[in-house]
Amino acid sequence: MKKFIFLSILALGISSCESFTQGVIRDIDLPAHTPELVGTLLADPSDSSLVGIVSQTRGLLDSNSTALLDNAVLNLYQDGDLIHTWSTQDPLTGYYVLDLNDTLGMHPGKLTFEVLHPEFDAITASDQFPPQAIISDAFINPGQGQIFTFPADELVVSVKDIPGVNQHYIFTADLRYRDFDLYQDTNWYSIELFTDDQRAIQIGGAGAVMLSENGLDADLSISMSCFDLFGSNGQNDIEYRIHVKTLSDASWNYYRSIASYEQAQNNPFSEPVLIYSNMNDGYGVFALSNTTEIRI
């Protein structure tokens, strides 16, 4: 009896293995993909140019290498009045670039970004510039930070609350030698910031740190660490320049989705991440920020 059961199990296993090795083939009809227009513009009052990206969505099996589109017209409105229009593409990147005579500057009210293309319906999105950050304090503690197990400089930045405004920030930084006569180099060099603050979000590709009030009116302070690229012997040798970029809600949602996407790339068990989009009748993002800086 035991021998019969064993032979039955063995036969079943062989049959299952044959089915497994032969595989099961099913025809699945994928629905045809209908391309949709995609437009992206990130803008800040300090920008000296406007750089828009216009493309189209691609199907799962589309093999073309690029989705960028020619022949688009990009418009920027302030409270319904046209303030900028451009259609010139950079020949290297394919992006739509408008060089401004000065900086974009601060525009009150609602700004609306519109993308026109002869093969698609127009797409639009609106946003407003957030108020500039009020930096109440910023200082360096040389050698008091830590990145993994390595000592680093600590940068501490504090910003004051603006009542009734849900404030979001991105912190970036760069440094340079203070004394040109001594080092023959006073160029600014970008550095990566790191933090173990559980409230913050790290944007790995940009070396930036994000922090939000999350709806609670309060002063904020954050400690970040960075490597002194020059290996100098003290704070007196170098100067740090810290950029504090205040984000609109749309900017915050966009950059947060980028950070989530980066984190998911090396995790096969993570949920799919959708990049934030706020364009009506299409895809893409129009998002505004407002940058201030302090040198220490």
Q: For position 45, which CATH number holds? A: 2.60.40.10
Q: Has residue 254 been placed in a domain? A: no
pLDDT given at position 270: 75
- 143 and 213 part of one domain: yes
Q: Has residue 253 been placed in a domain? A: no
pLDDT given at position 266: 73
- 168 and 139 part of one domain: yes
How many whole angstroms separate alpha carbon 75 and alpha carbon 70?
15
Q: Has residue 23 been placed in a domain? A: no
- 144 and 241 part of one domain: yes
Q: Has residue 265 been placed in a domain? A: no
How many whole angstroms separate alpha carbon 78 and alpha carbon 210?
28
Question: Edge-to-edge strands of the sheet including 111-117?
Answer: 81-86, 73-78, 111-117, 120-127
Residues paired with residue 39 on neighbouring β-strands, in sequence order: 54, 284
- 211 and 115 part of one domain: no
How many whole angstroms separate alpha carbon 192 and alpha carbon 87?
35
Tokens of 34: 């209908």
Domain range for 119 is 33-58+66-130+273-296
Residue partners of 78: CB distance under 8 A and separation at least 6: 107, 109, 110, 111
- 116 and 216 part of one domain: no
CA 262 to chain centroid, in Å, comes to: 10
Residue 218 has a CB neighbour count (10 Å cut-off) of 10
Q: Which pTM value belongs to this model?
A: 0.83
For tokens 């001594």, what's the residue? 182
pLDDT given at position 249: 96
- 139 and 243 part of one domain: yes
Q: Has residue 114 been placed in a domain? A: yes
pLDDT given at position 10: 39
Q: Has residue 15 been placed in a domain? A: no
Q: Has residue 256 been placed in a domain? A: no
Q: What is the number of domains present in the chain?
A: 2
Extract long-range pairs of 45-49: CB within 8 Å, 24+ residues apart.
45/103, 45/104, 45/105, 45/106, 45/107, 45/129, 45/290, 45/291, 46/103, 46/104, 46/291, 47/100, 47/103, 47/104, 48/99, 48/100, 48/102, 48/103, 48/104, 49/97, 49/98, 49/99, 49/100
pLDDT given at position 273: 82
pLDDT given at position 148: 83
Domain with residue 233: its CATH number is: 2.60.40
- 146 and 115 part of one domain: no
Q: Has residue 236 been placed in a domain? A: yes
pLDDT given at position 1: 47
- 122 and 45 part of one domain: yes
Q: What is the pLDDT along the chain (296 residues), one digit of tens a residue?
A: 444 443 343 344 444 455 545 556 666 666 677 889 999 999 999 999 999 999 999 876 665 555 899 999 999 999 999 999 999 999 999 999 999 999 999 999 999 999 999 999 999 999 999 999 999 999 999 888 888 888 888 999 999 999 988 999 999 999 888 877 677 788 999 999 999 999 999 887 668 999 999 888 889 999 999 876 655 545 567 889 999 999 999 999 999 999 888 878 877 777 778 899 999 999 999 999 999 999 98
- 145 and 234 part of one domain: yes
